[in-house]
Structure formats: C-alpha cells, structure tokens
Amino acid sequence: KAEQTRPELDFLIDGMVIKVRDFATRSALGATDRFPRWAIAFKFAAEETTTIVRDITWEVGRTGKLTPRAHLDAVELAGATIRHATLNNWDDIQRKKVGIGSRVFIRRSNDVIPEILAAVEGDIPERQAEKPTVCPACGAHVEQRGAHIFCTNSLSCAPQIAGRLAHYASRDAMDIDTFSEKTAALLVEEMQLKSIPDLYDMTAEDFAGLPGFKEKKTGNLIAAIENSKDCSLGAFVFAIGIPNVGSKTARDL
C-alpha cells in the first residue's frame, strides 16, 4: 500500500523501516556494528529511465584501482539530475554492452547511486569503449588483478596519494576536521605531498597563497592535524589503509 501511494506524497521516500517499539525487546535483540537487529528497512523498486552515454573515462582510487565512469546526457531521475554513473570494471562494460553513444537503462541503486543496467536492446554504439593500457593519471603501466585493473605506480600517482590522505583523515580514521578529498587533492597538486607523514611537517607558512586558505582556515587545519596525534590505536590501524581491514576489524585487532 505504501508503495502504491508513494507518488501522491509531497516528499521523496525510497522505502520504509519496520521496527520493534518495545525498548526492552530492542535491548535483548541488540545490534551489529552498523545495524540494529530490532529494525529492518524495505526498499521500493528503483525507478528507471534511459539516456545516452557520451564518454567513458577511468578514475584512479587510493588503492590504484581504475574505475570506469560514464558521462551521460543529463536526465531527471528520482528527484535528482543524473550526469554520471559508475561502471564496475572492464568486464561490466562488456557484459552490459555499453559503448560511446549507447542508449542505456539507468536507475539509482537504493535511490542513491546512479547505476547503468544495460544498453537498450538492439542499440549500436558510435564506438566501443577502450581498455586502458596505462594509468590515465600518471601514465604508468597497468595490470589486471582478478576483475579489476590497477595502476602499478603506488608511490607517485597523484590520485592514489590524495585518496590515501583523504582516507587517513576521514571520520572513522584520524578524524581530521576540515580535511576533505578536495583538500587532499589540492595539497598533492600544489604542495607535492607524497605520503601521510608529510601532513605533520606542514606549517602555516606552507599554505601562503594556496587557493581558499585564509589565516583562519589554515589555523583550523593545522590544529586539527595536531589533535589527530591523540587517537585510538583502532582508528590509526584503520587510517593507514591495510587491505581488507575496515573500521571494525581495526578495533578488533
């Protein structure tokens, strides 16, 4: 019934949550690290539409993994304007038969993340997507490991360095206030930061002339970096980015 009346609401919803009302029962049921066991969310079927893929580029993450990103003709979907969608890997592109100029079905996965489902049946793209042979950011050789393609230059590939710095500063890690992914990329580009320890060598003078960094913002960031020295061991283990070690595993270790 709720899904049927969804279009009549004057606000957007993507599902419903059913929960136990009795607090004693809630306490007995408990919770995992991320979710309460006394509540469950039901998602409605995601809305779908079609649009045209105008380009496919490859983005480099902190682990060196190259992820294809589709650039789309802008389309309205579930209350948002969609211009980009992530494809998982090269095999995903082939399986979904997506190329440049393809008309594709898209939806917002969980009504949040834009996702390409497949090319429209019978669609013929203007040209096929190209599998990268070098890193688009640093030009280094790439290699395929399992389903994914990785840049082999972990030491000086700028997006990898910026990704590691942003992860290190994130809320569940060292929680360095005001340090965003954008800030990490700026420091790597303008100040040639190469590694996490470089953060602790920065002084206020280093930020002089840096776009967007006035005296107050610089002071706040320097203070936040200094405060991060007082942290829990679990947060630090998570922050350094050991493969397959999430925040809970880091605390357990």
- Is the CB of residue 188 less than 8 Å from the CB of residue 168? no
Greater confidence (130 vs 15) lies with 130
How many whole angstroms separate alpha carbon 239 and alpha carbon 235?
Answer: 6
Instruction: Tell me how far CA of residue 38 lies from CA of 21, 42, 179, 206, in angstroms.
Output: 9, 14, 35, 51
Residue 129 in this model has a pLDDT that exceeds 80: yes
Average pLDDT, the chain: 91
How many whole angstroms separate alpha carbon 115 and alpha carbon 213?
Answer: 36
Greater confidence (108 vs 131) lies with 131
Q: Which of 1-5, 22-26, 57-61, 107-111 has the lowest mean pLDDT?
A: 107-111
DSSP assignment of 53-111: EEEEEEEE-TTSEEEEEEEEEEEEETTEEEEEEE---HHHHHHHT--BT-EEEEEEETT
Total residues found in the chain within this entry: 253
Q: What is the mean pLDDT of residues 81-109?
A: 92
Note the Cα 152 to chain centre separation in Å.
Answer: 21
Q: 48: which strand partners?
A: 107
Give residue-wise pLDDT tens across range 165-190.
999 999 999 999 989 999 999 999 99
